[in-house]
Amino acid sequence: MRLIKIFDSIAFRISFSIAVIVASTAVAVGWIIMREERKMLELELRSKGKYLTEIMSRRLVEPILYEERYEIFSLLQASMKGKESLVVYGEVYDKNGEVVVTAYKDEKLHKIIPLFENSIGSVDVREDNLLYHITLPINVEALGTIGFLRLGITKEPLYTTLKTVKQKFYLLSGGIIFIGIMIGLWMARKILRPILILNKGVRMVGEGELGIEVPVVGEGEIKELALSFNRMSKKLKELINETRAAQENLVRTEKLYAVGEFSAGVAHEIKNPLTSIKMLIQTVKQKKQALSSKDIEILEEEINRIDRIVKDFLAFARHEKTEKADVNINNLLEEVIAITRPKMEQSAISIKQKFSQPLPIIKGSHDALKQAFLNIVLNAIQAMDSGGGTLEIVTSYESGVMSQGLGNMPHNTPKVSVIIKDTGIGIPEKNLKKIFDPFFTTKEDGTGMGLALTYNIINDHSGRIDIDSTPFMGTTVRVELPL
């Protein structure tokens, strides 16, 4: 993975390209130089060979004329003496092309190559891989051609020189390629460093480190880019700070507004019972008589009502996170039903229970959840107060996706779901979005805190609550609680 990343990086590609260019240039230049060098050396060796043959042919005139074969042989041998000598064989022919004398430096070379037809009369140079075969007619002014001389000139010095040149070339081009790669890497780093720095900067901003500045390195467009990035980063930070401040302001204003609304609601709720208490006391005062037992009953009722409002208000306002313990929702609902059964019997409400058994235990506050479900069940009973009906309570375990609605439970959490369904008066569409508001009530003696409290409790358990209702048909409340 890391290796692929390196091959993919621009730095690698640039230095690799530079290395390839440098290497191929070095090879091409080297090849040309070698070719020229070889040509030059060949030419030099050839002319040296011709010169040697010429000198030798002049020296051979006299011995040939006097037919001194031994002298000819000695002269040929002398020309081959010494390590440095280029001549490896010598052959002397008579004017008819018949061999007169031969001498070889190395006996292995002992093979007579016949004279070439066209070599008669002029210098003839033949070559194979190892030797130049140079043939020259031996001329005397008065007699014309008296014979031929052929010398074998070794190409060895040519190969030795070429070998050293090649070695030097390999060494040099190796060095050039190495330096090329180094320069490539260095250039790539120099060009890319500012881009890499920018890249890092962008990543950091992406991760939320607003306002960071990258060092301005590089030239031209890259420098411009770095400057623009720094400006953008700074602007972004300012903007976000401003937005944050505005948001905080808004939240503060909303909170103040909510507190105002809430206080107005509490005051309004308390005002009613207080007014009736005040009126009662005033009447008793005017009539100058003692409180009757009925008056005391009314007083007690109104004071209880105030007490309830204040209690609910405190419970809502404190919004305390209660200690969580194991809760069995089936058992908890049984308790709620037990409390409300007398009321249901009074109002001719039948109850249908469909409890999934066993139901997983959830973590939560038993008392708070009992209060929440009691509020829902009480609302259902109150909705069916006048004509009776059926209350259906269904529990189930679900491991799948959650339905859309209020609350903040993440999707795909295993959860317990409770459905409380009544056949009561239902909720008109326009009220549906207000039922969770504190103090929203349509009941004469209601506080409107029931569902507000319930919502908070379910929310504290990371659950969600949805209410679906059709006027005059009934209401379905669905509560989902994560395990």
Ligand X SMILES: Nc1ncnc2c1ncn2[C@@H]1O[C@H](COP(=O)(O)OP(=O)(O)OP(=O)(O)O)[C@@H](O)[C@H]1O
Residues of this chain that bind Mg ion (CB under 5 A):
379, 450
Does 426 bind ligand X (CB under 6 A)? Our answer is yes
440 binds, among Mg ion, ligand X, none (CB under 5 to 8 A by kind): ligand X
Asked if residue 358 has a cis previous peptide bond (ω within 30° of 0), the answer is yes
Does 64 bind ligand X (CB under 6 A)? Our answer is no
The span from the CA of 463 to the CA of 408, in Å, is: 7
What's the token pair of residue 396?
């189930």
CB closer to ligand X out of 39 and 433: 433
The span from the CA of 301 to the CA of 201, in Å, is: 69
We find the least distance from the C-beta atom of residue 411 to Mg ion, in angstroms, to be 30
Q: Are 476 and 439 in contact (CB under 8 A)?
A: no
Does 427 bind ligand X (CB under 6 A)? Our answer is yes
CB closer to Mg ion out of 138 and 381: 381
Using alpha carbons only, give the angle 475, 480, 483 rounded to the nearest 5 degrees: 160
Contacts of 75 (CB under 8 A, 6+ apart): 56, 59, 60, 63
- Three state DSSP letters for 117-177: HHHCCCCEEEECCCEEEEEEEEEECCCEEEEEEEEEEECHHHHHHHHHHHHHHHHHHHHHH
Does 273 bind ligand X (CB under 6 A)? Our answer is no
Does 425 bind ligand X (CB under 6 A)? Our answer is yes
381 binds, among ligand X, Mg ion, none (CB under 5 to 8 A by kind): none
Query: Using CB under 6 A, which of 147, 448, 463, 482 touches ligand X?
Result: 448
Does 79 bind ligand X (CB under 6 A)? Our answer is no
The span from the CA of 155 to the CA of 162, in Å, is: 11
We find the least distance from the C-beta atom of residue 207 to Mg ion, in angstroms, to be 48
Does 336 bind ligand X (CB under 6 A)? Our answer is no
154 binds, among Mg ion, ligand X, none (CB under 5 to 8 A by kind): none
Between residue 363 and residue 422, which ones bind ligand X under the rule CB under 6 A? 375, 379-380, 383, 422
Does 135 bind ligand X (CB under 6 A)? Our answer is no
Q: Are 406 and 466 in contact (CB under 8 A)?
A: yes
Quickly count: other Cβ atoms within 10 Å of residue 77's Cβ.
14
Q: Are 395 and 354 in contact (CB under 8 A)?
A: yes
153 binds, among Mg ion, ligand X, none (CB under 5 to 8 A by kind): none
- Three state DSSP letters for 369-433: HHHHHHHHHHHHHHHCCCCCEEEEEEEEEECCCCCCCCCCCCCCCCEEEEEEEECCCCCCHHHHC
Residue nearest to ligand X (CB): 450
We find the least distance from the C-beta atom of residue 371 to ligand X, in angstroms, to be 11
We find the least distance from the C-beta atom of residue 258 to ligand X, in angstroms, to be 17
SS3 325: strand
CB closer to ligand X out of 132 and 373: 373
CB closer to ligand X out of 148 and 440: 440
- Distance from the Cα of residue 205 to its chain's centroid: 15
The span from the CA of 289 to the CA of 384, in Å, is: 42
Does 451 bind ligand X (CB under 6 A)? Our answer is yes
Does 447 bind ligand X (CB under 6 A)? Our answer is yes
We find the least distance from the C-beta atom of residue 341 to ligand X, in angstroms, to be 18
We find the least distance from the C-beta atom of residue 427 to ligand X, in angstroms, to be 4
Applying CB under 6 A, the site for ligand X has a residue count of 23
We find the least distance from the C-beta atom of residue 420 to ligand X, in angstroms, to be 8
Does 423 bind ligand X (CB under 6 A)? Our answer is no
Going by their DSSP bridges, the two strands 99-104 and 325-327 should be labelled as: unpaired
Residues making contact with ligand X (CB under 6 A): 375, 379-380, 383, 422, 424-427, 431, 435, 440-443, 446-452, 475
